[in-house]
Structure 1
Amino acid sequence: MKAWRLDGMGGCLAFETVPKPVPRAGSVRVRIEASVLMSYLKPYVEGKLPFYRPPPAPFTPGTNGIGVIDAIGPDIWHLKPGQRVVLSSHFVAREQIDDPAQILIGLTGSEGAAPMLHDWPDGTLGEYALAPAEVVTPLDGLEDINAAQLAAITRFVIPFGGLLRARLTAGETIVVTGATGAYGSAAVLVAIAMGAARVVATGRNQSSLDALARVAGPRVSTVALSGDVQRDAEALRTAAGGGVPVAFDMVGQANDPNATLAALHSLRRGGRLVLMGSMATDLPIPYTTVMLNSLEILGQFMYPANAYQRLLALVRSGLLDIHALTPREFALAALDQAMHAASDAGNLEYVVVRP
């Protein structure tokens, strides 16, 4: 088969002919139909993200994707060849222990996860991928949607994990910071699908907020942030009709904490703030404010193991329209061009490569 092979971050990236992976116990081999590119794949490949812990070189990069099961190994009882599936990169060690290691297959791992990365180094940027059964979810009932469009669910699942962590319930109001980014926009759309009565989408790009509001519908209002924490917090409360029960923070690479602090100060007593972005500075917590108002600050990495199943239920029911996001398609061989496009993609589009 053909696959991209990376000789370590900052090393050689080459399109090579390699043996097809052989299914082993607890695994399935998937013929890839569409692999979704991260916006930061190019700097990752170039070695500009030193905080990542990549698999031992060489390996096939690539995270989530859509495909069809081609073969199964021993100890697989429900998944079948010919079944269309979505592959998640998020894999948590199977052992029943208090703090299992976790990795993102084809990308990085937590501290102490080197043995897992050694066993499961290769991602989806090839014609076939071998995956542990735990990261494979059937796409039954969605046969009428093409693979590139189905790949949109990989954009939605990450903020969905954060909204589950937030315990968002139907009828609640939520503030989403970083809503002009790819995952922030997806968070707004998923929150609507989950029954939020009102979503206040915030960011600093009014035109992107307006485009998102047009797609998301009348339950979404927007606030363009000024950078002044107190002024912005008051604007959020006004847009929400009072203090909000939930705030979801998906800011990307922010150099100051002001947007996140504005969201925190918009909360009503007993409110919850979920942190899931990638802020590049520390967050100064107003201790007394948090204590006096019984606020919760919750961190969330990725999503629970059954998140794709729950998200797909929203898609099948018609509550979540994945056509709100637009795919840009490239051939697998044109990865360099696709990586450039992924870095420039708008908040309502994503890039896939297809063998």
Structure 2
Amino acid sequence: MRAAVLTRFGAPLTVRELPDPEAGGGEVVVEVLATCVPPYAGEVFGGERNYPLVPPVVPGVGGVGRIVHVGPDATRLRAGDLVWCDCTVRSRDDALTPDITLQGWSSRGEGGARLARYLHDGSFAERMRVPTENVFPLPAAAGEDPARWAALSVHTIPYGGLLAGGLAAGETLLVSGATGNLGSSAVAVALAMGAGRVVAPGRNRAALDLLADRFGPRVRPVPLTGDEDTDRAAMSAAGGGPIDMVIDLLPPSAPSSAVRVAAMTVREYGRVVLMGGVGMLGGDDLALPYPWIMRNSVTVRGQWMYPRTANVGIIRLLASGALDLAPERVRTFGLDAVNDAVAYAASHGGPFDRATLVPGATVRPRAGDPDRREHTGPSPPARRAVGSHERADGEIALRLHPSTRRPAQRDDLGAVVRVSDRGCLSRRHHTAERLAGRYDRAEAHLLAARFVDDDTWRVVPILIRVNVRRVAFGPAGGAGRICMEFPIIGNSMYCGRRG
């Protein structure tokens, strides 16, 4: 198999041929379809974060994959299953205080380091070996866009913190670090869990505006000034009442005073959960006042990662649509472009920006656009309909054809309308996948798209009345067009062209 290897700290990752991993008892081998690249990955590989990785190592923080082999003790998992691979591995010989390693990323203590020496390599590879208990089945929809679902590695972390703090429906939450990659995820996850209001403090006005625009009045952005008393008063006022819980996800570069100001907005009997990196690279202690904690009966707890069951919960939130991945901006990179992915992630660490590695893909630069890439690779197995695409310069084309004579089903439309990267309807806020939820037996709401510029689509709804039980797709009418054919009403087509 091919894998990206960290040979030493400070050196670029190197793509090499390595032996395929083999599954032993209690393990599975997974073909990695997509894995998220954290924004701080460059700091880890450069040695700035002092992570206990031991080169040479294949890094990575879990991913979406398809099972290749299962160990002899697996009773439900099968080869071919689409799964999420959680990187948080716990030792099996101490149920009360298990040692923990983040496979291919980090570890805790000597016991975690021993575990990391055995489960050494992560997901920046075509295949990886994973403990059976760290593999979780995914819905079929994840196979249609595994790069988007790889964001599980982001969303599961704040979800674990919100579970630890016991966030209840209708409560008011303050997210310290709300404009960052993990903090913005905490905002989205909290609202999906039923939070009544989320206070989102930060210095990045554009990121605060993005959160307010996406989530509406349930999010209360608070621009920070740097003055502790002013900021504490503004955050408390934005809550519109008692703040039930505070979760901190600030990075190591943030001062401890920023955490303290946010934490001290919590109400009497409130909860504070610490999940960030403040203090890990030095600096002042948090120094929360003892009398304030005691006399207000405040619960303060730390939470590193999340319990195993959190994986099941976050997958359910995504599968139900309560947590929506569609608005996220996902940029994909093949394995040969792994260092480009690391650099891109570092410069796109804001809300809902994802750099995703697709190890099995072939990457090629676009004509006249060398900085942009599209990925092609093994497609998920077709269920009822399949599609293919071609691209002329400045245009998009889509060919669709039925793979069977049976009538189309509810998930057919979202499954087939797919093209890649800049010509990809499924990578924009209003996706072709939404089609599946916007029709019934009498009509189909189709979404066409036109370029506004390289990164923006103008979405145009079109209503075509058909008997959707008999919808089928015919071949495209030519380069630069999106064509959909509905034989039940003859050869009527809608064709969209750029501009």
Please name the residue that 2:211 is paired with: 212
Query: What does residue 62 of structure 1 align with?
Result: 60
Question: In 1, Cα distance between the equivalents of 2:322 and 2:84?
Answer: 19
Q: Take 1:240 and 1:263, find their aligned partners in 2: how far apart are those partners?
A: 12
SS in 2 for 1:188: helix
Q: Is the partner of 1:301 in helix, strand or coil?
A: coil
**Higher-RCO chain (CA-CA 8 Å, sequence separation at least 6):** 1
Q: In the TM superposition, what is the alpha-carbon distance from 1:220 to its structure 2 partner?
A: 0.7
Q: Distance in 1 between matches of 2:142 and 2:245?
A: 35
Specify the alignment match of 2:299 in structure 1: 296
CA distance in 1, matches of 2:52, 2:253: 22
Q: Please report how far the alpha carbon of residue 98 of structure 1 lies from its aligned counterpart in structure 2 after TM superposition.
A: 3.0
Q: What is the CA-CA distance between 1:20 and the residue it aligns to?
A: 0.7
Q: Distance in 2 between matches of 1:233 and 1:12?
A: 42
Structure 1 residue 66 displacement after superposition: 0.8
Instruction: Establish whether residue 349 from structure 1 lines up as the match of residue 349 from structure 2.
Output: no
Provide the rounded CA distance (Å) in 2 between the counterparts of 1:108 and 1:6: 13
**Maintained 8 Å contact 1:269/1:294:** yes
Comparing 2-11 with 228-237, greater Cα deviation is found at: 2-11
Per-residue deviation, residues 85-120 of structure 1 (Å, max 9, x unmatched):
111111111123432110000012111122211110
- Whose radius of gyration is greater, 1 or 2? 2
* Corresponding residue for residue 154 of structure 1: 153
Q: Deviations over 1:132-165 (max 9, x none)?
A: 1121111034346411111122211100000001
Q: Is the 8 A contact 2:139 2:319 kept in 1?
A: no
The equivalent residue for 1:270 is 269
Unmatched tracts of structure 2, length 5 or more: 360-499
The residue aligned with 1:312 is 315
Residues 1:75 and 2:73 are matched in the alignment: yes
1:152 touches 1:325 (CA, 8 Å); kept in 2? no
**Structure 2 residue identity aligned to 1:18:** L
Q: Deviations over 1:144-191 (max 9, x none)?
A: 641111112221110000000110000100111100100000000000
Cα separation, partners in 2 of 1:144 and 1:16, compared to 1, 3 Å: closer
Which stretch of the first structure deviates more once superposed, 192-201 or 319-328? 319-328
Answering whether residue 342 of structure 2 is matched by residue 339 of structure 1, we say yes
Distance 1:32 1:38 in 2: 17
Unmatched segments (≥5 aa) in structure 1: none
Tell me which residue corresponds to 1:225. Answer: 224
After TM superposition, give the deviation of residue 58 of structure 1 in Å: 2.2
- Counterparts in 2 of 1:1-355, with a 5 A limit? 1-10=1-10, 13-50=13-50, 52-55=51-54, 57-112=55-110, 113-143=112-142, 145-280=144-279, 281=283, 282-345=285-348, 346-355=350-359
Deviates more, 1:4-13 or 1:247-256: 4-13
Runs of 4+ in 1 over 6 A off after TM superposition: none
Cα distance in structure 2, aligned partners of 1:264 and 1:119: 39
How far apart, in 2, do the equivalents of 1:144 and 1:122 lie? 24
Structure 1 length as normaliser, TM-score? 0.95
**Contact 2:318–2:324 (8 Å) recurs in 1:** yes
After TM superposition, the score normalised by the length of structure 2 is 0.69
Aligned pair count reads 353
Contact 1:152 1:327 in 2 (8 A): no
> Larger deviation: 293-302 or 106-115?
106-115
Hey, what's the Cα distance between the residues in 2 that align with 1:228 and 1:339? 34
